[in-house]
Amino acid sequence: MLITIDSYYDIKFYNETKEALKNNNVDYKEYISSKAPYHYYIETDETPYFINYDEPNRSYSRWLVNIIRPLKPNDEYIYERRESYVNKKAINHYAINDALETGQKSGEGIFFTADKDEILNITKEFPKKVFFMGRYFNRRYKVFFCDSLMIKNYIDTNNILVESKSFKSIVDLEVELNYNIFKLQDRLLKISETPYVINGKYYPVKSVVPEISDMYVLN
């Protein structure tokens, strides 16, 4: 069940609701709309009978993107929802992580797939970081991101998922990936520190969350 309570409650209550979910061992996912009014959404199997909420329709749900997932306890404070981050400022802070920020700055972005040997060989020649964004569709579908379309000279065109050098926000490219490629069966997972490949070597990150670690196994 996918809901927002933003039309009825303040941010303090939202954070208390999240804490209650954690305390009661309820699994949930958290999203933010990349389209005004930039509401937060929580996805859970539980029905919230005791609070007011709204559900998005199919056409609006396409605009929902994952909130950045903290890797370490200190990161949880950084990405806690606050009154000081609202509207587009909230998108920039909570939805654009280190990997996507490179595309936001360069004005280009490309998502593509590759297997382990391919990406290691590509990055022996390609001179920039290539970020590993995780494995999707039951961990079979490896997704990489690069902030330069020059990498197209090194990869099979059939492996390109989405690309652009004309977007207002890098999140627009993420929305296209989620909707046109993942068909909303998956949504791009973003973590506070993204593993990457450069000079033919993979640089993983350590996470205190086991399911996140499993997503970023390059093999």
Q: What is the mean pLDDT of each run of 10 residues along the chain (219 residues)?
A: 97 96 93 96 93 92 96 88 95 97 97 97 97 92 97 97 94 97 95 96 83 84
pLDDT at 208: 62
* Nearest Cα to Cα of residue 165 among 100, 107, 101: 107
Hey, how many other C-beta atoms are within 10 angstroms of the C-beta on 43? 15
Phi, psi dihedrals of residue 4, rounded to the nearest 5°: -125, 145
By 3-state DSSP, what share of the chain in percent is helix, strand and coil, each rounded to 5? Answer: 35, 20, 45
Q: Are 91 and 38 in contact (CB under 8 A)?
A: yes
Residue 138 parent element (H or E): none
CA distance 184 to 181: 8
Sign of dihedral through CA atoms 23, 135, 133, 214? positive
For the full predicted model, state whether its pTM sits above 0.85: yes
CA distance 204 to 107: 26
Strands (DSSP E) along 87-190, which ranges?
A: 109-113, 130-136, 141-146, 160-164
pLDDT at 170: 97
pLDDT at 51: 95
